[in-house]
Amino acid sequence: MIVRVKAVGSGTVADPYRVPFPTYRIVADDGNIPPIAYYVDIPDLLIPPGILIAPGLTSQISINGKVTTVLTTVPPGLMMQWYQELDISYQEHAGQFRHIVQ
């Protein structure tokens, strides 16, 4: 699923622009320089089912000329659940993956 996630980093080798998520591919940025957010492709297996089926969390956005369904908002309770599941699935990196969907 495509998710709009707040960018972190400063664009250097030591601190590259990225999103704090374990596995993703950047599809596009938001057009700002430097980018404020990235559109990233995240495997559905890494998204809690409660988020995948919840209504009203997505928007239709044109990305690279194609209208795409994008996850753009997650309620705080579901976001906390998402963080907890990542901490369990990636125990060696617990506390590191704190992406912000926006």
Partner 1 sequence: MGLPITLTNPAIAGLVKVSNYYDRQPVIQNFYNNNAYAPHGVTNRVTYTVPTNKGAYIEFWSLTQVRQTAATTPGQSQIYFSYFGIQSGITNAPGYSQMNTNTLFAMDRVVGGNFGLMVTGDQVFLSDGDTSTGGTVAFIESLKVTEFGSI
Among the residue ranges 17-25, 49-57, 68-76, 77-85, the one whose residues contact partner 1 (CB under 8 A): 17-25
Report the alpha-carbon angle 86-23-17, nearest 5: 110
**By CB under 8 A, how many residues form the interface with partner 1?**
26
Residue-wise DSSP of 54-87 = -TT-EEEEEETTEEEEEE----HHHHHHHHHHHH
Q: In Å, how far from its chain's centre is CA 15?
A: 18
Of residues 30 through 89, those in contact with partner 1 by CB under 8 A are 33-34, 43, 45, 64, 88-89
Among the residue ranges 26-34, 47-55, 66-74, 76-84, the one whose residues contact partner 1 (CB under 8 A): 26-34
Q: Is 24 in the site for partner 1 (CB under 8 A)?
A: yes
Exposure on the CB side of residue 16, measured as CA atoms within 13 A? 4
Contact residue for partner 1 among 30, 48, 85, 90 (CB under 8 A): 90
49, containing H or E segment: helix 49-53
**Contact residues: partner 1, CB under 8 A:** 9-13, 16-18, 21-26, 28, 33-34, 43, 45, 64, 88-93
